[in-house]
Each structure stands twice: as structure tokens, then as C-alpha cells.
Amino acid sequence: MQIVIFSAEPYDRLALDDVNRSFGHELVYHEAALSEKTAVLASGFPAICIFVNDQVNANVIQTLAQNGTKLIALRCAGFNNVDLAAADAAGITVVRVPAYSPNTVAEYTLGLILCLERKIHKAYLRVREENFALNGLLGSEMHGRVMGIVGTGKIGGLVARYFTAGLGCEVLAEDVYHNPEVIAMGVKYVSVDELFRRADIICLHRPLTPNTRHIINADTLRITKPGVAIINTGRGGLIDSAALLDSLESGHVGGAALDVYENEKQLFFRNLSEKVISDRIFRRLITLPNVLITGHQAFFSAEAMKSIANTTLENVTQFPAGKVDKEVIVSAR
């Protein structure tokens, strides 16, 4: 099948071309993101492949449908950037990669937490400047602390395992579904309010939905423990960034490690080193000494990229015969 791939970076091409040797699709790459202006680039292609920050609103859907697109294949798990109702109405099927390598994101989450709590990122910069003083680098060990995990799917469940079996933390969890494997680790499911009140570190692994948007906000931050750390490798919209900034500046929140940001679409996956970033909240966050931000790279491992490429191309392969796994289809219905 012919597939046009938007937001294509060199590493996307490398992974997709390598895996495509066993599929034989015709892949056409565009560095440009999908938007109302670029949707015409998909004219005549039955399938398109997109990433997290591509814009797939009702107008884009209409253009795609008019020009022959029948399948939107997300090479990611999240789908909040797609107007699913519009896709359903236009007869366009939307598929995703629900799970690629949960170890990749879970391990990165662990790395962010340890880096933040032991100030490794600050120490690294000091040593590069030949400053070996330890003042200001006093950290805290993890053993015995209370970890709160919001969302215990495959990634959250692995994070829970790391902190119970590996680091000896008390782990509290919140989720609609109480994962029996997580319970078997000794993790206690509690209400989100109790988790916020008791946790020393709050780690976010929920999908972004209308119910979870800004789950971290001024009100929920107000009930958290003084000095709490907020970790987000899930979705940027889970956090009200302005409220988090206020709590960091007041000293109530002790630190934050973020791999995602609610307004990242204008920032991440591009080199902006020669530009002035106009997002004042983001600009302030990156100046704070107790904030660690990375550019949405928790998913970025060789193993995950290969898995994402394989599932994406398998989804496209199965589509013409109507054999796409129901688990990968997303719909507003």
C-alpha cells in the first residue's frame, strides 16, 4: 500500500525502512507536520502515518477524505490529536500502536526520578565547568519513601515494580482498573485525593481524556505534601502548567521532572536554538533549578522504534482485508 508519512525525522525513516523490507509498502516521507495547510500532500494516498503533534482536526479529516485517504495510522499510543468523531463520519479508520515497549518509558521514568532526586543533571553541568563543589547537590534516597502512581497500565505497572521490588518504596496507586499484578506487588490502590495527600513523589501514567486533563491543577496541588515531586512521562495535558509553575515558585512543590508539556506542539521535535521561545511559562520552568525537562524522548529507544514501526506497518497491511486487530482501532463510537 502507498503510505505518506508526516513529521518524518531521520530516525523514523531508518526504523520504518528497515522494518518495511519484510512488508513491501511504498513509503513517501514528509518532514512537514500534518495540518490544514499540508493535508493536500496526502492526495491519492489510501493511508497516512502520523505522530503525536500532527494536527488532525475536522477540516484536515475532510480534506483527507475528499482526496482518497481511508486509513490514519498513528505511530504512537496517544490519539488525542485526532478528531475521532470526524474520522468516523468520514469513513476513515484510525489505528494506533497501543503498546510498543513499556520497558522503554518505564526505565526512562525511573531515570528522570533518580536524576531529579539526586541532582545528577546539575552535577553533570558543574563538572563540565570544572566545578567539583558539592554544595547545593544534597539529594534524597528513595528507600522508604511514598511513591504515588496515577495510572497502572503496562508502563505504570512496571514503574510500580521498580519502586517496590527494586528501591523499597511504599507505592500507592490510582486507576479505574485495579491491576491484580500490581496488587500482588504489595501496592495499595487509593483514591486520587488520598494519593495526592500522602505521596512524596507523584508519577503520571494516565492517558489524556476530558476526565484526566489537568488532573494536576491548583486545587489538587494545594492538597499535596509540601516538597512533593511531580513526574510526567504520560501526556503534557495531564498538568496545568501555570498552576505547577506557581506551586514551584511558592516552594510548595519541591521539584518536577517532565518529558511532556501541554503546549509542546510548538516546541518539541525541532531545533529552536536560534529562535526566541514565546511560551513564557515554559521559559520560566526551564530556568528553575529544581525542574528537569526533556523533549518527549521517553519512548525513544532502538527497541521501541523497531516495535513501533513493525506494529504500524502491520496495521496498514491488515487493513485492506479487514483484519486489523480491534485493540489498535480507536473510534468515537
Active-site hit among 75, 214, 235, 262: 235
Q: With 90 as the cut, is the pLDDT of residue 101 above it? A: no
Active-site hit among 296, 314, 327, 333: 296
Residue 261 contacts residue 241 (beta carbons within 8 Å)? yes
Q: Enumerate domains of the chain plus CATH numbers.
A: 2-100+301-330 (3.40.50.720), 102-293 (3.40.50.720)
User: pTM here?
Assistant: 0.92
Q: With 90 as the cut, is the pLDDT of residue 333 above it? A: no
What are the backbone dihedrals phi and psi of residue 66, each rounded to the nearest 5 degrees, phi first? Answer: -65, -25
Annotated active-site residue 280? The verdict is: no
Reported as a single tens digit per residue, the pLDDT across 260-275 is: 999 998 899 999 999 9
Instruction: pLDDT band for 77, please (50, 70, 90 cuts).
Output: confident
What are the backbone dihedrals phi and psi of residue 114, each rounded to the nearest 5 degrees, phi first? Answer: -65, -40
Annotated active-site residue 143? The verdict is: no
Torsional sign, CA 293, 295, 298, 301: negative
d(CA 304, CA 306): 5
Residue 181 contacts residue 126 (beta carbons within 8 Å)? no
- Name the percent of the chain lying above pLDDT 90: 94
Reported as a single tens digit per residue, the pLDDT across 115-140 is: 999 999 999 999 999 999 999 999 99
What are the backbone dihedrals phi and psi of residue 247, each rounded to the nearest 5 degrees, phi first? Answer: -70, -35
Tell me the average pLDDT across 191-218: 96
Instruction: pLDDT band for 206, please (50, 70, 90 cuts).
Output: very high
Instruction: pLDDT band for 100, please (50, 70, 90 cuts).
Output: confident
Active-site hit among 264, 270, 274, 280: 264
What are the backbone dihedrals phi and psi of residue 276, each rounded to the nearest 5 degrees, phi first? Answer: -95, 120
Annotated active-site residue 262? The verdict is: no
